[in-house]
Each structure stands twice: as C-alpha cells, then as structure tokens.
A = this chain, B = another copy of it.
Amino acid sequence: MSVTAAKGFRASGVTAGLKPSGRPDVALVINDGPNRDAAAVFTSNRVEAAPVTWSRQVVSDGRVDAVVLNSGGANACTGAQGFADTHRTAEHVGERLQVSAGDVAVCSTGLIGELLPMDTLLAGVDAAAPALSADGGHAAAEAIMTTDTVAKECVVTGEGWTVGGMAKGAGMLAPSLATMLVVITTDVVADAATLHEVLAEATSTTFDRIDSDGCQSTNDTVLLLSSGASGVQVDRRELATAVTGVCADLARRLIGDAEGAAHDIEIEIRSAATVDDALEVARAIARNNLFKCAVFGNDPNWGRVVAAVGTTSAAFEPSQLDVTINGVQVCRGCGVGDDRSGVDLSVRDVHVIVDLHAGAQTATVWTNDLTHDYVHENSAYST
C-alpha cells in the first residue's frame, strides 16, 4: 500500500503511453487532510530539471496537496518550454483535483533532453484522477518505475499512526540523492518545519549514502507529506526514527535493484577522525571502477581498495590501513594479510571494512559492482 498506508491519502497509477513499453507511467498522490504539511529534499545538481525547479517553489510554503509523477521522460534540459510544461501539468492536476496548482508537486523521470508529449501526459492525468483510491499505493509505485525491475514500497507503523513510502530508481544513484523519486506519507500531526528536520536527518544517512554509479541526477526528489488524519502527535524523535526507517529500507531496495548489479556492496569505514573523512574514503572506494569490476569477477582485489583510499585527503597513516572483505582481513598494515582465497564473493552481499586507525568515527556507503549488464543497459538506454 505504501503511500496510501497512512490515513488521509489516495493514489493511482495509469498507463498514459509515455513509455514505449506500454507500462504504467503516470501516478497521482493526493493528501485529503485534514492537514497538508509537507517537506522535501531535491538533487544538488546545478542542472536541475523543470519539475525540480517547480516543486522546490511548491513546497517552500510547507504545503503540498497533491503530487503528480511521470516516468517516460525527465523533462530536464528542456528550457523554458519544459518549465511551462511542468506548470501546465500542475494546473491540469489542480483543476482535476480541485486544489491550487501552486500546491501540486511535479516529479518526472526518464530520458533527459526531450520535451514531454503533453497531450499524452495530460490525458494520463485525466485517467489517473478518477482512479485515485485508498488502495492505489501499489499502482502508483508501479507507474514511476523506469529500469526498476520491482516496485519499491515500505510501511512503518506506530501506535495509531503510520509512515509509508514508495521509491523509484535504478541507476544514477549518487549523493546527494540518487536518480530517484520518493514520496513518503504519514498521518501523524506534524508541522512542515518538523517534517523538514526529520526528512533532512533521514536522507543524510540513507539516500545520501547510496552511490550506485557515482552519477548524480537532475531530477532527484524526496517528498514527505503529512495528513494528520490519525490525530496522533508523536515525539519528534519517534517520527524521525520511523521516517529514517522508511528511507533506509527504500534506499536498500534501490541498491538491491540497481541496473545490472550482481553484488550489493556495503563499504564500512571504521576508526576515522571524522564522519566526513569516513564518507570521503567510502565514496572513493564506491566510485572506483576497477574495484567494482573486481567484485563482479568475485575477486577480492584489496589492492584496488587501498589504492582508492590513497587518493583521499582523509586523516590516516598509509602503513596502518586494514581491509577486511566478507570476514577475511586480506590486508593488514597496508600489506598482505590473510589468504584472499578464503573470501567468498559468490554471494550477493559484499561487506568491505576499512580501518583507518585515525579516530573514533564511522560511516557506511552502499554501492554495486560494475557489470556487463550495467554497460549494456546504459549503452542502450536512449536507443
């Protein structure tokens, strides 16, 4: 049920015809209230898509009544016409749902640099509006998929209240924020400022720490909407834990479904001087193509790990680096450790631990291996 698990929300997903595949491609989510508090985080890419520019403005007053999402086109790098199309989409949704266009967030995903076929999209909105239902969460989650192989949904419940979410994204996953669209809903009573704090905290340790291929999208959007329909006010910390839980689960599903991946890789940096140091080191490893190819080949090539670590400016003494891969400390003191043949990489999950021996901080980044299927999917995407 995902985005319709919390009280006060309806959703729908329909096939408008934006995707050549004929799969569902337009989704609506409406907040029936009584409250319409909202918060969002967006891509930090300076080349941002028209819907990001629009939705940033929509959410700036802390209110969102509805969200329209489409796959089959990113509406990025489409200039003034692209922005006009986003505006027109919001106006159209506003008319159909009897809400102000200025309270309609817009999310788009797909190929960059092409205008959306507006007649097709708006006809999709016309079909999606009457289909809105309290059972429509899954249909909405399906309609935002691009190269995703599965719909991504998650629900966390408290005593009398719920947080639920849906996500799409299967490539271009990189901080800050992956190529992903995420809508999270809750029926707790919470003002926009609280929602913003909670969402920023949640994304900083979840979506911001997945890095499938180092590429950052122009469209990334994470929305958090609150209807207040449960009438329950929860402790800020409790809400933050629930939202973080939903974000962490969805983030893990994004990595688990990344394009062409054969391994999910957890890179844990220990004993760093600062969290920033730990993150810099983790990301350097996560973006090292040679390491990622080695994992694809089930090769515990720790030399490529330490070579990546060596490119960072984090505090550490090179001669003290330790690397453990799936339980085997293959590198000790930057030299040969235990027998690398003992590392089992035939499993999907790979856990790399790098100990910097430089402090007490730690951080973890999730990534994938670099595979033939990744190259195949991304060399054929627009053709």
Contact = CB atoms under 8 A, between A and B. Distances in A.
A335 B289 contact: no
B381 A294 contact: yes
A51 to B, nearest CB: 15
A158 B113 CA distance: 51
Interface string A225-238: 00000000000000
B372 A375 contact: yes
A53 to B, nearest CB: 10
B215 A382 contact: no
A379 interface: yes
Interface stretch (A5-13, A271-279, A295-303): A295-303
Instruction: Classify the secondary structure of A's interface with B.
Output: loop
Interface in A360-383: 370-372, 374-376, 378-383
Contacts of A81: 335
A333 interface: yes
Interface of A: 45-48, 74, 76-82, 111-115, 171-172, 213-218, 287-290, 293-294, 296-297, 299, 301-304, 306-312, 318-319, 321, 330-331, 333-336, 340, 370-372, 374-376, 378-383
30 contacts: A45-B310, A45-B311, A47-B307, A47-B318, A74-B303, A77-B334, A77-B336, A79-B333, A79-B336, A81-B335, A113-B301, A113-B306, A113-B330, A113-B340, A213-B290, A214-B287, A215-B304, A215-B307, A215-B308, A218-B310, A289-B289, A289-B374, A289-B378, A293-B378, A294-B381, A297-B378, A297-B381, A299-B379, A371-B375, A372-B372
